[in-house]
Amino acid sequence: MDSLNSLIDGFGTALTPMNLLWAAIGVLLGTAIGVLPGIGPAMAVALLLPVTYGLDPTGAFIMFAGIYYGAMFGGSTTSILLNTPGESAAVVAAIEGNPMAKAGRGAQALAAAAIGHFAGGMIGTILLVVLAPTVASLAIGIGAPDYFAIMVLAFIAVTSVLGASRIRGIASLLIGLTIGLVGLDRMTGQQRLTFGSLHLADGVDVVIVAVGLFAIGEALWVAAHLRRSTGRPIPVGRPWLGRADLRRTWKPWLRGPVIGFPFGAIPAGGAEIPTFLSYVTEKRLSKHRDQFGKGAIEGVAGPEAAASASAAGTLVSMLTLGLPTTAVAAVMLAAFQQYGIQPGPLLFEREPELVWGLIASLFVGMVLLLALNLPLAPVWAKLLQIPRPYLYAGILFFAAVGAYAVGGESLDLVILLVIGLIGFGMRRYGLPVLPAVIGVILGPAAEQQLRRALQISDGSVTGLVNTPFSVTVYAIVVLIVAWPLIGRLIVRLRAGRKTAEESRTVSGG
Partner 1 sequence: MTPESTEPAGPAGPAGPAGPAGPAGPAETAGPPETAGPPETAGPATAGPATAGGGARTWLRERTELGVCVLLFALGVLVLADALTMTVDIAQRGPVGPRTVPFVIGGLFLLVAVLLAVDVLRGGRGEAEGGEDVDLDEGADWRTVLLLTGVFMATAVLIGPLGFPIAGALLFWGSAYALGSRHYGRDPLIAAGLSLFTYFVFDNLLGVPLPGGPLMGVL
Stretch binding partner 1 (CB under 8 A), from 239-247, 254-262, 364-372, 421-429: 421-429
Among 431, 434, 437, 440, binds partner 1 (CB under 8 A): 431
Among 11, 15, 24, 84, binds partner 1 (CB under 8 A): 84
Q: Which is nearer to partner 1, 130 or 411 (CB)?
A: 411
C-alpha dist (Å) from residue 447 to 144, 149, 373, 380, 387:
10, 11, 44, 45, 45
Q: Does 251 bind partner 1 (CB under 8 A)?
A: no
Q: Which is nearer to partner 1, 376 or 413 (CB)?
A: 413
192 beta partners: 183
Q: Does 417 bind partner 1 (CB under 8 A)?
A: yes
Among 22, 64, 221, 356, binds partner 1 (CB under 8 A): 221
Cα 208 off chain centre by: 19
Residues 456-495 that bind partner 1 (CB under 8 A): 458-459
Cα 361 off chain centre by: 18
Contact 163, 426 (CB under 8 A): no
Among 388, 407, 469, 474, binds partner 1 (CB under 8 A): 388
Q: Which is nearer to partner 1, 1 or 167 (CB)?
A: 167
Alpha-carbon span 100 to 212, nearest angstrom: 38
SS3 call for 191: strand
Q: Which is nearer to partner 1, 83 or 320 (CB)?
A: 83
Q: How many chain residues bind partner 1 (CB under 8 A)?
A: 80
Q: Does 198 bind partner 1 (CB under 8 A)?
A: no
Stretch binding partner 1 (CB under 8 A), from 64-72, 333-341, 355-363, 451-459: 451-459
Residues 169-188 that bind partner 1 (CB under 8 A): 170-171, 174-175, 177-178, 181, 185, 187-188
Q: Which is nearer to partner 1, 37 or 256 (CB)?
A: 37
Q: Does 200 bind partner 1 (CB under 8 A)?
A: no
Q: Does 197 bind partner 1 (CB under 8 A)?
A: no
Among 200, 424, 435, 438, binds partner 1 (CB under 8 A): 424
Q: Does 270 bind partner 1 (CB under 8 A)?
A: no
Tell me how long the chain is. 509
Nearest CA among 248, 239, 179, 215 for reference residue 396: 215
Among 25, 201, 223, 376, binds partner 1 (CB under 8 A): 223
191 beta partners: 184
Q: Is the dihedral of CA 145, 146, 149, 155 positive or negative?
A: negative
Among 210, 296, 301, 400, binds partner 1 (CB under 8 A): 400
Nearest CA among 305, 364, 291 for reference residue 124: 305
Q: Does 37 bind partner 1 (CB under 8 A)?
A: yes
Angle at 465 between CA 179 and CA 138, to 5 degrees: 90
Stretch binding partner 1 (CB under 8 A), from 113-121, 250-258, 349-357, 444-452: 444-452
What's the closest the beta carbon of residue 102 comes to partner 1, in angstroms? 18
Among 1, 164, 198, 485, binds partner 1 (CB under 8 A): 164
184 beta partners: 191
Stretch binding partner 1 (CB under 8 A), from 4-12, 217-225, 332-340, 343-351: 217-225
Distance separating the N- and C-terminal Cα atoms of the chain: 69
Work out the burial of residue 223: count CB atoms within 10 Å of its CB; fewer than 13 is exposed, 13-18 middle, 19 or more buried.
Answer: middle
Q: Which is nearer to partner 1, 165 or 499 (CB)?
A: 165
What's the closest the beta carbon of residue 429 comes to partner 1, in angstroms? 4
What's the closest the beta carbon of residue 248 comes to partner 1, in angstroms? 29
Q: Do strands 183-184 and 191-192 pair parallel, antiparallel, or not at all (unpaired)?
A: antiparallel
Stretch binding partner 1 (CB under 8 A), from 117-125, 212-220, 315-323, 329-337: 212-220
Work out the burial of residue 244: count CB atoms within 10 Å of its CB; fewer than 13 is exposed, 13-18 middle, 19 or more buried.
Answer: exposed
Contact 437, 327 (CB under 8 A): yes
What's the closest the beta carbon of residue 8 comes to partner 1, in angstroms? 32
Q: Does 193 bind partner 1 (CB under 8 A)?
A: yes
Residues 42-61 that bind partner 1 (CB under 8 A): 50-51, 53-55
Residue 500 CB contacts under 8 Å (≥ 6 apart), including other chains? none
Alpha-carbon span 449 to 439, nearest angstrom: 14
The interface mask with partner 1, positions 309-348, x = CB under 8 A, is ----------------------------------------
Contact 102, 81 (CB under 8 A): no
C-alpha dist (Å) from residue 484 to 321, 423, 497:
27, 28, 20
Alpha-carbon span 347 to 312, nearest angstrom: 17
183 beta partners: 192
